[in-house]
Every structure is written in structure tokens, then in C-alpha cells.
Chains A and B, each alone.
Chain A
Amino acid sequence: MEAADLERALRPVLGDRLLGVEPFEGTAGRVRFRREGAVDLFRTARDTLLFGHLTMVGGIDWVDHREVVYVLWSDTARQYAILSADVPADDAHIETASAVWPSANWHEREAWELVDISFDHHPDLRHLLTPDGYVFHPLLRSFKLHEPEELEVKSRHV
């Protein structure tokens, strides 16, 4: 399956919600879409394109906006495909994929707590890796790491 095949299959369903399909080395292609088309894209990818397996969901913080990356695997084509959607940083939310692929559940919980991307209609959006009530989102670029010694010095001054 090539990038062109993906585009051909997805364009009729998504229309202008599909921003384009780029070739990506080692995969079928990288599908860029608007977040409004998420549900349709997920259903088409699973039912028509037979990407039955959601491998991972990850978030990337590009400071001005955030990107949600989905990696899919098709057992028939024996290929990966990457879906990516940009969401604005001040309103970072997208429709959940866990209704289509149950495996998205934990991945989305992780993306929610680490990259601060909220997933609409997620069944169980709780903290997974960080403790309950942890207010920071460590994988944002604005979150800086410190040497523990530095922290100690700072706390002493405070």
C-alpha cells in the first residue's frame, strides 16, 4: 500500500478534512487530517483499509500547537500507517479512538497526562503513570528538568 492508495481511499470519505498523505519511509504513509474528521477516519481505516490494530497514540508538543500521532498496523497489508492531527495548544482536544480500537484507552490516558491533550468521550480518563492529582504535564516543552541539587538549593531559599 502506498501513500497514493491511502489518499485515494480516504479522500472521498473525509473530503477537505484530509490535509494530505505524505510518504513516510518504512510505512504506508503519513496521513494528516483535521481533528473534525477523526471518527470517520478511524472507522474507515479500520473497516475499509483493514488497519485493525492501533499500535500507539502519542502526542508531540510543538509549542504553538500539539500533534497527535496514531500508528496503525494492518494484518492484511503487513504495513504500518501513521495518522497525525494538529490541535491548537490552548484548546487541545480530539475525539477518542478507543471506541474504534479499545487498545487506544491507555495510550490516550498517557497522552492526556503527559502532553495535555484531552480526548473527548474517553471512557476512563484518569492518571496512569503520574500520581493522582499531579497537575503538571511533563512532556510539554515548557516543563524543564533540574538537577536535584539545584532544586534543593532553590527550596532552601524559598
Chain B
Amino acid sequence: MSATPVSVPPAAKPAADAFRLEGELPMAGAPAVPMFEIETLRAKEFLPAAREALSALIKDQSENRVIGPVFNWARRNSLFPLHWGLACCAIEFAAGFGARWDAERFGVVPRSSPRQCDLMIVNGTVTWKVAHKLITLYEQMPEPKWVIAMGNCATGGGPFRTAYSVVPGVDKLVPVDIYIAGCPPRPEAMLDGILKLEELIRERKE
């Protein structure tokens, strides 16, 4: 007798369809959200910013109050991450830009040149050998700029944090705005991190 896996009910009862292989129902082609709706899901985002700018304009506020909301809206809706891959998370980073998750929906387009980027997604283990290059890249990015530490290696060294060559967390090198946990995080988690960053930018007004 050996360790045969047996399925015993866990402490909490799982969802009723545990182990059901989903998707057998042939409702192919139908979008979960209707076509028109799916294109307008976040379209109303612009309205508050515009309203704020308009009211500031009417009340004769300072210039910053007028254009601030609009530029804030623009900034958070057009984040260009740096196109580079460090380690495992880079594969999920790429998958996030693949067909299934398509980060471009949010206006996130990777650019290869740091001069054109707003966002550095540190997607993997940072070693001491690459640390100064990472700092150079960060300094080459024009303001305003943000950093996302994607995955546990970037957050705190992950499983390799005891190693002699690994920086235990990229926040030792550059200021980090959002930490995404996961090893590696799913592409959805990466998108969630980007959306959280958008919220952060919305709160940090000029």
C-alpha cells in the first residue's frame, strides 16, 4: 500500500462543480457580455475627469486644476511598460500581452526604449550583476514614472532571496509603487496590478 491520492472533502465544502470540466456546453461564439456593452465597460471613466475639469474651468480655478484631471486620466490610461524580461514572470508578462488577456485593451503597450516608457514592470529575479543596469534604465525613463514589482523575486527575492547573487527585493534599488504577489503571478494578477496602479495614479493628483 502506498500513498494513493484520495479525494476527501476539504474543511469547507467546495463549489458544487468541483472537478467538473467546464465548457462542455456548446454555446460557442456568444460573448459573455453583449457586444455593445463589452465595448463600453470602462468608457465612462473619462466623464468624471471631464466634469471636474469643466467645473474647474467655470469656477475660474488655477490652470492646474483645469487640465490636471484630464492629464491624470490620460496618464493612467496610457501606461507604456518597458519591454524586457528578467525571469519566469516575464513569460507570464508575455502571456498577459498574448491573445487571451490582451493587456493592450487598457492601453498598455510595451516599448523597447526606456525613453518612451512610463512604467517599469520588474518581472523576475534581480541579481546584483544587473542591478546597476536596472537603475540606469529607471533613470532613463522620463518623469512621471512608476515601478511595479511583479512576482515574489522582485518583491523580496522570492525563493532565491538567500542566494549570494540576488537582490532581496527591487525596492532596495528603485521606489516601487505596486507589488504583485505570485510565483509567478497569473496574467490576470498582472492586469490586476496595473489596474491598481491606475487607481493609485487617480488618487495621486497633481
Direct contact of A and B (CB under 8 A): yes
Query: Which residues of A approach B to under 8 Å, CB–CB?
Result: 129-131, 136, 138, 143, 145-148
A130 (CB) vs chain B CBs: closest residue: B165
Contacts A130-B165, A136-B164, A138-B164; A148 near B157 (Cβ below 8 A): yes
Query: Which residues of B approach A to under 8 Å, CB–CB?
Result: 128-129, 156-157, 161-165, 168-169
* A143 contacts B164, C-beta separation under 8 Å: yes
Which A residues are CB-close (under 8 A) to B164?
Answer: 136, 138, 143, 145
Question: Mostly helix, strand, loop or mixed at chain A's interface?
Answer: loop
* A131 contacts B129, C-beta separation under 8 Å: yes
Which A residues are CB-close (under 8 A) to B168?
Answer: 148
Given contacts A129-B165, A145-B163, 19 further A-B contacts (CB under 8 A): A130-B129, A130-B165, A131-B128, A131-B129, A136-B164, A138-B164, A138-B165, A143-B164, A145-B162, A145-B164, A146-B162, A147-B161, A147-B162, A148-B156, A148-B157, A148-B161, A148-B162, A148-B168, A148-B169
CA of A33 to CA of B169 in the docked complex: distance in angstroms? Answer: 45
Which B residues are CB-close (under 8 A) to A148?
Answer: 156-157, 161-162, 168-169
CA of A129 to CA of B164 in the docked complex: distance in angstroms? Answer: 12
CA of A130 to CA of B163 in the docked complex: distance in angstroms? Answer: 12
CA of A130 to CA of B129 in the docked complex: distance in angstroms? Answer: 7
Which A residues are CB-close (under 8 A) to B162?
Answer: 145-148
Q: List 21 A-B contacts (CB under 8 A).
A: A129-B165, A130-B129, A130-B165, A131-B128, A131-B129, A136-B164, A138-B164, A138-B165, A143-B164, A145-B162, A145-B163, A145-B164, A146-B162, A147-B161, A147-B162, A148-B156, A148-B157, A148-B161, A148-B162, A148-B168, A148-B169
